Amino acid sequence: MERNKDIQVIEGYGVTLRRLTEDKIELVRRWRNDPKIQQYMSFKDYITPEMQKNWFKKIDNNNNFYFIIEYEGKEVGLINIKDVDYEKRTGEPGIFIYEDECLNLDVGVRASLCQNDFAWNTLNLESMHGHVLKNNKRARQLNRFFGYEILPGQEDKELQECTLTRDAALKNKNVNRIANLLKKMENI
């Protein structure tokens, strides 16, 4: 699985995902400390440059894959699969779109389609397990679209756990239809 470490760029569905490098962690820190992003994170403390450097040291490895999302040549957000367990074949997905003009577009869906392909085809995961705040309507809608299911007993919790299996994802007709459509549009 060491080959995964070499993956620096994922392109597809009209977006480019570029592996997070140290020279970009200040940009991510600025995004992450913005209240519009921070409000939807479970960790809400202000992140200092030192904290950010330490965080990057922990995630710059073969078990964590963080990518800057580029849309039409502009850096617009961050997407990740973290805590990849190659034995259990699981990982935890995450995404945020920073640029306001992209929130009404489908950049999040495009990036998530790349993330799914990466999870199932490259990392060969069997499932992804995520967390989402109950008040994060946009993320919950996106999760529903992709077929994530809230775990039983989590419905009333502030931080809810959700899961998506490889089998369910690959059989999701709505997602496959949109994926094919976006691929088709890429070639026009």
Partner 1 sequence: MEELIAKIAEILEEENLDIAKKINDYEGWDSLAGLSIIAMLDSDYHKVMKTKDILAFSSIEEFCKSVLS
- The footprint of partner 1 on residues 139-158 (CB under 8 A) is 141-142, 145
Q: Which is nearer to partner 1, 85 or 101 (CB)?
A: 101
Contacts of 23-27 with C-beta under 8 Å, sequence gap 24+, read 24/68, 24/75, 25/52, 25/53, 25/55, 25/56, 26/52, 27/68, 27/75
Dihedral Cα 21, 25, 26, 32, nearest 10 deg: 150
- Quick note: the x/- pattern for partner 1 over 57-96, rule CB under 8 A, is ----------------------------------------
User: CA-CA distance, 90 to 63, in Å (whole number)?
Assistant: 10
Please report whether residue 99 would count as binding partner 1 according to CB under 8 A: no
Please report whether residue 135 would count as binding partner 1 according to CB under 8 A: no
Give me 92's structure tokens. 């935890």
Q: Which of 115, 107, 103, 122 is nearest to 164 (CA)?
A: 115
Stretch that binds partner 1, among 27-35, 42-50, 77-85, 176-184 (CB under 8 A): 176-184
Please report whether residue 188 would count as binding partner 1 according to CB under 8 A: yes
Q: Contact positions toward partner 1, by CB under 8 A?
A: 103-109, 138, 141-142, 145, 177-178, 181, 184-185, 188
